[in-house]
Amino acid sequence: MLSKSTFKEPINAESKNNVTAHTLLILFGWLGVHRFYIDARKSGTLMLALFALSVLLLLANLGVAGFVALFFWWVLDVFTLHQLVQKRNAIPS
């Protein structure tokens, strides 16, 4: 018989690995994949939307401002991702 505590556990309760998060940042950081990995879905969606908007602006010959903003966000994540992973792992299961 299943106990009641079995149903109280979150679906994605495993801790996230720093090496995996940084690898995703290096390879797919411009798409926000590393943010989806650490369950920061809102900011991951914003990064993905900014990338899509930047591509559309580039194709319409309206400049590269979106890519510049995305680059600075990526650089910020290079220095802060470790703390974001630790903060995500500190959330009690």
Whole-model pTM? 0.79
Residue 15 has pLDDT above 70, yes or no: yes
- Tens of pLDDT, residue by residue over 44-76, are 999 999 999 999 999 998 989 999 999 999 999
Residue 83 has pLDDT above 90, yes or no: yes
Smallest CA-to-CA distance from 35 within 50, 25, 49 is with 25
pLDDT value for 92: 73
Give the alpha-carbon dihedral of 11, 81, 20, 24, to 10 degrees.
100
- Tens of pLDDT, residue by residue over 30-47, are 999 999 999 999 999 999
The span from the CA of 68 to the CA of 51, in Å, is 10
| pLDDT class of 2 with cuts at 50, 70, 90 | low
